[in-house]
Amino acid sequence: MTNIKSLHQDVVSGVVLLIITIVFYTQTVDLPERAAMFPTFVLGLLLFFSIAIIIMGVTKTIKEKKGDPVYYVEEEERLKFKTIKLPLVFLIILAIYIVAMNFLGFFVTTTLLIVLTLYILHSRKLTTCIFTVFGTNLFIYFLFVFLLNVNLPQGIFF
């Protein structure tokens, strides 16, 4: 029997789009007619495309089963956990970073972020690390705080 893993990922993309269409549609129902007109039209288009993509994915799945080659364009590839592991790790780090920025301030958290990034990416030379941290922070301070008067989030230290 077909299990989820043997399905082409286009089927999954299509289904996700379909779910998004439905979720947004439930939000559209309560809107006044005038405000809902254009979004309904857009959702109609999205419905069409999600179904078309599901059909395309099913055709590709059948093709793959027969052993015919299915082409991937540009950056597209069959997604594996190994590929997306590091991006996922960074996604979590960035989320924590943004939350932490409110407490520790921009420059403290950014320093931590750069050090952590370089550590994870195997750049563990102390000089490189210090140079990058100071270079980036000084550049941002000069351009944004000094020249452009942007108040970057401040924390408990400075």
Partner 1 sequence: MAVALLVPITFSMEPVAGLIMLTAIYTSATYGGSIASILVHTPGTPAAAATALDGYQLTKQGKASKAIGVATISSMIGGFVSGLALLFLAPPLAQISLMFSAPEYLMLAIFGLTIIGSLSAGSMLKGLASGVIGLLIGTIGIDIVTGFPRYTFGSISLESGVSLIPALIGLFSLSQVFIMLENQKKSDKKSSIERKIGKVIPSFSEFKRVFPTILRSTGLGVLVGTLPGAGGDIGSWVGYNEAKRFSKRKEEFGKGNIEGVAGSEAANNAVTGGALIPTMTLGIPGSSTTAVLLGGLMIQGLVPGSELFTTNGHLTYAIIIGFIAANVFMGIVGLLGAKYFVKILDVPQNLLIAIIITFCIVGSFAINRNIFDVWVMLSFGILGYTLRKTGFSTAPVILGMILGPIAESSLGQALVMAQGNFFTYLFSRPISVLFIVLIVLTIISPLVLRIVKSKRKSVDKDASA
**Residues near partner 1, by CB under 8 A:** 9-10, 13, 17, 20, 24, 27-28, 31-32, 34-35, 38-39, 42-43, 45-46, 49-50, 52-53, 56, 72-77, 79, 83-87, 90-91, 94-95, 97-98, 101-102, 106, 110, 113-114, 117-118, 121-123, 128, 132, 136, 140, 144, 147-153
Does residue 53 contact residue 20 with C-beta atoms inside 8 Å? Answer: no
Residue environment code for 84-105, b if the CB has 16+ CB neighbours within 10 A, otherwise e: eeeeeebeeeeeebeebbeebb
Residues 6+ apart with CB under 8 A from 132: 114, 118
Closer residue to partner 1, CB minimum distance, 62 or 79:
79
Q: Name the minimum Å distance from CB 86 to partner 1.
A: 4
Q: Name the minimum Å distance from CB 38 to partner 1.
A: 4
